[in-house]
Amino acid sequence: MASLDPRLNRVDIYKYHQELQPKNSMDQFETYEVFVQSKESKPYQHEGIVHAPNQDMAFLFGKEQFSRRGVCTGLAVVLTEKIMVSPMTDNEENVYDHVSVASEKAGEKETYEVFHLFKRGKHMQHQGSVTAKGFHDAYQQAAGTYNTGKVVLNVWVIRHDDILFNTDDERVIWSTLSDKKFRDAIAYKALDKIKKFKEEQTASN
């Protein structure tokens, strides 16, 4: 049976349905959370996920899915699994109110990035870094450094080294985005055409 799509007529599309096997459980890979910095003066913001087999692919995919329209200055991806998430609070309660008192930790100090959610429905936003020995220490440090009075509903803490950021050299990949006018509503003005058409209709009536 011929398709209306010439691309599909070049392939036997019906043979595949018969050969269909059930998907194995990781067919669509793991997920990576994607963060975008739209301008240098703005913080990285969580935008969503990509499914990818590894971090390098996740970066390529994240760039396409979350920065193909807006010019941006930074992109970062991290395996969902690597993110430590605090509880989510309710109704104006600050999640940091429940952080226990700091105690001595063992191990090496590393950098951790801290993200806050200030309002349900909004996006996680980067606040800054802390150096700490482990996630719990980092969380407590964040409570000390970034709990500045505004109610925080949710906190994400991520080891800096688990995150893949673009390099400064790579920023050039976003340089021509603003030229792609064909994807902006503004390139599709047609009021004049409608006006002209209406005038012609009236004239011929």
Which parts of the chain fold into alpha helices (H)?
Answer: 13-19, 55-67, 135-146, 191-204
> With respect to another protein, which residue has the nearer C-beta, 107 or 121?
121
* Residue 25 binds another protein (CB under 8 A): yes
Q: Rounded to the nearest whole angstrom, what is the least distance from the CB of residue 26 to another protein in the complex?
A: 6
* Residue 40 binds another protein (CB under 8 A): no
Pick the stretch among 84-92, 104-112, 128-136, 157-165 that binds another protein (CB under 8 A): 84-92
Task: Name every residue whose Cβ is closer than 8 Å to that of residue 160 and which is 6 or more positions away in sequence.
Answer: 110, 111, 112, 113, 129
User: In a 10 Å sphere around its CB, with 0-12 CB exposed, 13-18 middle and 19+ buried, how is residue 42 labelled?
Assistant: middle
> With respect to another protein, which residue has the nearer C-beta, 70 or 144?
70
For another protein, the binding residues in 159-198 under the rule CB under 8 A are 170, 172-176, 179-180, 182-185, 187-188, 190, 193-194, 196-198
* Residue 150 binds another protein (CB under 8 A): no
Among 38, 42, 43, 57, binds another protein (CB under 8 A): 57
Q: Rounded to the nearest whole angstrom, what is the least distance from the CB of residue 153 to another protein in the complex?
A: 8
> With respect to another protein, which residue has the nearer C-beta, 105 or 120?
120
* Residue 26 binds another protein (CB under 8 A): yes
First-last CA distance in the chain: 47
Among 38, 42, 43, 51, binds another protein (CB under 8 A): 51
* Residue 71 binds another protein (CB under 8 A): no
Site size for another protein, by CB under 8 A? 80
CB-CB contact of 153 with 98 (8 Å): no
Q: How far apart, in whole angstroms, are the C-alpha atoms of residue 193 and residue 205?
A: 19
How many alpha carbons fall within 13 Å on the CB side of residue 109? 6
Q: How far apart, in whole angstroms, are the C-alpha atoms of residue 78 and residue 34?
A: 7
CB-CB contact of 46 with 124 (8 Å): yes
Pick the stretch among 99-107, 120-128, 130-138, 157-165 that binds another protein (CB under 8 A): 120-128
> With respect to another protein, which residue has the nearer C-beta, 94 or 154?
154
Sheet holding 74-79, edge to edge: 84-85, 154-159, 110-117, 125-132, 45-52, 30-37, 74-79, 164-165
